[in-house]
């Protein structure tokens, strides 16, 4: 004879500690071995084996035992010890929800009684789906935090593997299920159902069904909000956290390997600044090149001394006409330098400064090219860096 | 005579590169290098045989002749620092990115490190003074930035060394030198 419900509940309450131990054993090993059941019974000094089987809390598999799924879910729920489910398990709701929805559409004008049952079933499936998603997010967060805190004292390499597994097998696929923009996702399916149910709750002829659609509509709306929250937790908290664990563990694995034998590996290339020592083979040529700069200047200087030059008078009209013939000039200073170089071979700085005074002539329109780089003019005495200037006729 | 148009800070850029410095994103020179990436690639290659390495965060040059000892010392420094920070429950990447390090804190981490033997035999890391010299060299190269006499921050150039560790782990895992513990199921 089946036991009274209250008797079963009282049994659960009185023997909860033993049941919790058994639950943990099954969560870890997938089964409760005969010897372990015996050990736990002895530990709590209670002979509960008979009731466990009689109340169908456990059932026998060969010589060992397993929790009945209802009690397993109950204890899991009560102690909040969920194990992450593979998204494939959750994905099955896509099929059941879609099928029920399809049948509701097809039978919308048919038998009202069966329609009521289908609407109720659809609500149940949607609720179960959400509960699983919520449990999975909670359990994934817990697992991730455990890896971060390293409660299991695992090494970095194992951390990389676990973190990669959580990302690739659990988090990313789960996020796909929750992605409302993905046409095949459950969240997208719910969105479509909500639109359909919304129209029916306002217009359906049968009042009782109208009420049922109303309830379903509000359920879906609140579940959609919940799914959005779960998805946000996955993408903004869980994924970055676990990704960081993976990255950090990978780096530490590399460092530990490196520190084991630092001489064995080619570390990143960083430049060795080149210095020329007095005995370097480059020194002769470099020094020669260096002094040659000055020797050139010296030649110019000596020539100046030898030839007594007349004082140069700037013929403004002549150069202005020359400039005007060449207008528009896109590099005024370059033009001045070129003109002087053509006429005198060298660019004397005094001449250069006089010729550039043409820039202030009123019938010329100078403009600075702001984007251009500074240009360099090498004169007999110095190198001048000046901006590029274009000159047009002033209209 | 018209000269070639060089970027305005060309001299400064080349001087930095030739001295083995990292030019960081925050430096105005970085934008000039980025704008003239093609020019600097060919210029450095043709003039010195150097390779320009340009990332989103920094630029530096490398050649066939690397300062291996310095690079190894810096790598060991970062390796021990990351390991010890992690051991002390810190997110070492966050610390490197945003943290400020006091010299006394580094001394404490290194003195209590389980890599004591390695530290003691490394001339650039063996004690506080030796480490100060290494920090000076790292600062000259813009790998760290001294805040004052007591502390420094690490610049984004640290990523070159972190990348090295990450690649080393990946290659070891992929060629099986590091066993994947517990399988991958």
Choose between A336 and A311: higher pLDDT.
A336
Q: Spell out the residues 6+ positions from residue B14 whose beta carbon is closer than 8 angstroms to its own.
A: none
pLDDT for A283: 62
Name which of A79-83, B130-134, B175-179 the model is least confident about: B175-179
How many H-runs (helices) and E-runs (strands) does chain B carry?
9, 6
pLDDT for A229: 87
Name which of A161-165, A182-186, A287-291 the model is least confident about: A287-291
Q: What is the mean pLDDT of chain B?
A: 89
The answer to whether A140 and B164 are in contact (CB under 8 A) is no
B165: confidence class by pLDDT, cuts 50, 70, 90: very high
Residues of A with CB under 8 A from a CB of B: 154-155, 157-158, 160-161, 165, 244, 247-248, 250-259, 262-263, 265-274, 331, 334, 337-338, 341, 347, 372-378
pLDDT tens-digit map of B114-128: 898 899 999 899 999
Choose between A291 and B25: higher pLDDT.
B25
> Would you call A116 exposed, middle or buried from its count of C-beta atoms within 10 A (0-12, 13-18, 19+)?
middle
Residues B88-115, mean pLDDT to the nearest whole number: 92
Q: Does A268 contact B8 at a Cβ distance shorter than 8 Å?
A: no
Q: ∠ CA B157-B161-B166 to the nearest 5 degrees?
A: 130
Residues A100-129, mean pLDDT to the nearest whole number: 91
pLDDT for A305: 52
Nearest-CA distance A229 → chain B (Å): 26
pLDDT tens-digit map of A260-301: 989 889 999 988 876 655 555 566 666 666 666 555 555 555
Name which of A331-335, A361-365, B15-19, B166-170 the model is least confident about: A361-365
Residue given tokens 């009209």 in the structure block: A317
Contacts of B166 in chain A (CB under 8 A): 247, 250-251, 254
Residues A330-341, mean pLDDT to the nearest whole number: 90
pLDDT tens-digit map of A47-77: 888 888 889 999 888 888 999 988 988 888 7
Segment holding A377, helix H or strand E: strand A375-378
Contacts of A160 in chain B (CB under 8 A): 169, 173
- ipTM score here? 0.91
Q: What is the mean pLDDT of chain A?
A: 83
Query: A376-390 as b/e, with b when 16 or more CB fall inside 10 Å?
Result: bbebbeeebeeebbb
Residues A93-117, mean pLDDT to the nearest whole number: 90
pLDDT for A303: 55
Nearest residue of B to residue A332, measured between CA atoms: B2
Nearest-CA distance B135 → chain A (Å): 15
Name which of A43-57, A152-166, A196-210 the model is least confident about: A152-166
Choose between B179 and A350: higher pLDDT.
A350
Choose between A295 and B102: higher pLDDT.
B102
pLDDT tens-digit map of A358-376: 888 888 888 887 766 778 8
Name which of A41-45, B59-63, B92-96 the model is least confident about: A41-45
CA distances from B140 to A31, A272, B104 (A): 63, 13, 21
B182: confidence class by pLDDT, cuts 50, 70, 90: very low
Return d(Cα A237, Cα B131) in angstroms, integer.
38
Nearest-CA distance B89 → chain A (Å): 8
B44 vs A: CB within 8 A: no
Choose between A388 and A292: higher pLDDT.
A388
pLDDT for B184: 34
CA dihedral angle for residue A65, residue A69, residue A71, residue A74, rounded to 10 degrees: 140
B175 vs A: CB within 8 A: no
pLDDT for A227: 87
- Chosen for mutation from A251, A261, A330, A338 (greatest number of chain B CBs closer than 10 Å) is A251
pLDDT tens-digit map of B50-66: 999 999 999 999 988 77
Choose between A290 and A347: higher pLDDT.
A347
- pLDDT of residue B70 exceeding 80, the answer is yes
Percentage, residues of chain A above pLDDT 90: 18
Q: Does B20 contact A273 at a Cβ distance shorter than 8 Å?
A: yes
């Amino acid at each position: 004879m089946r036991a009274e419900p209250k008797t079963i509940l009282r049994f659960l309450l009185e023997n909860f500690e033993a049941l919790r131990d058994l639950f943990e054993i099954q969560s870890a090993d997938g089964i409760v071995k005969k010897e372990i059941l015996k050990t736990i019974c002895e530990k709590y000094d209670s002979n509960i084996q008979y009731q466990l089987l009689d109340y169908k809390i456990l059932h026998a598999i060969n010589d060992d035992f397993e929790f009945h799924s209802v009690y397993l879910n109950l204890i899991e729920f009560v102690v909040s010890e969920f194990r992450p489910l593979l998204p494939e398990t959750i994905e099955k709701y896509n099929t059941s929800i879609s099928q029920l929805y399809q049948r509701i559409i097809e039978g919308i004008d048919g038998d009202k009684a069966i329609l009521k049952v289908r609407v109720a079933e659809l609500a149940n499936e949607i609720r179960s789906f959400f509960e699983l998603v919520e449990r999975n997010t909670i359990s994934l967060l817990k697992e991730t935090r455990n890896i971060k805190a390293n409660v299991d004292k695992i090494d970095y390499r194992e951390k990389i593997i676990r973190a990669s597994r959580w990302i690739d097998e659990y988090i990313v696929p789960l996020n796909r299920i929750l992605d409302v923009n993905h046409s095949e996702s459950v969240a997208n399916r719910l969105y479509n159902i909500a639109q359909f149910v919304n129209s029916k709750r306002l217009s359906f002829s049968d009042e009782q069904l109208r009420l049922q659609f109303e309830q379903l509509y509000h359920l879906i709306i609140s579940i959609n909000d919940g799914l959005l929250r779960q998805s946000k937790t996955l993408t903004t908290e869980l994924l970055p956290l676990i990704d960081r664990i993976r990255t950090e563990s990978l780096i530490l694995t590399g460092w530990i390997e490196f520190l084991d034998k630092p001489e064995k590996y080619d570390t990143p290339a960083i430049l060795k600044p080149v210095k020329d020592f007095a005995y370097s083979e480059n020194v002769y040529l470099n020094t020669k090149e260096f002094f040659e700069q000055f020797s050139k200047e010296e030649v110019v200087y000596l020539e100046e001394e030898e030839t007594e030059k007349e004082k140069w008078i700037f013929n403004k009209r002549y150069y202005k006409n020359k400039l005007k013939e060449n207008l528009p000039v896109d590099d005024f200073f370059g033009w001045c330098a070129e003109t002087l170089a053509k006429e005198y071979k060298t660019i004397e700085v005094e001449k250069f400064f006089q010729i550039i005074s043409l820039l202030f002539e009123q019938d010329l329109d100078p403009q600075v090219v702001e984007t251009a780089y500074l240009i360099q003019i090498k004169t007999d005495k110095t190198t001048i860096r000046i901006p590029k200037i274009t000159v047009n006729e002033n209209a | 005579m018209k000269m070639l148009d060089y970027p305005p800070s060309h001299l400064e850029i080349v001087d930095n590169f030739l001295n083995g410095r990292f030019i960081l994103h925050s430096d105005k020179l970085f934008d000039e290098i980025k704008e003239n990436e093609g020019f600097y690639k060919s210029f450095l290659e043709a003039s010195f045989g150097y390779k320009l390495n340009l990332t989103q965060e920094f630029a530096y040059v490398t050649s066939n002749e690397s300062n291996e000892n310095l690079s190894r010392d810096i790598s060991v420094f970062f390796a021990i620092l990351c390991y010890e920070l992690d051991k002390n429950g810190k997110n070492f990447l966050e610390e490197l990115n945003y943290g400020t390090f006091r010299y006394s804190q580094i001394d404490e981490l290194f003195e209590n490190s389980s890599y004591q033997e390695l530290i003691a035999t490394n001339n650039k890391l063996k004690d506080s003074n030796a480490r100060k010299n290494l920090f000076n060299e790292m600062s000259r190269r813009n790998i760290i930035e001294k805040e004052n006499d007591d502390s420094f921050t690490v610049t984004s150039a640290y990523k070159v060394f972190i990348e090295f560790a990450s690649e080393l782990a990946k290659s070891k895992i992929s060629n099986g030198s590091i066993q994947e513990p517990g399988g991958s199921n």
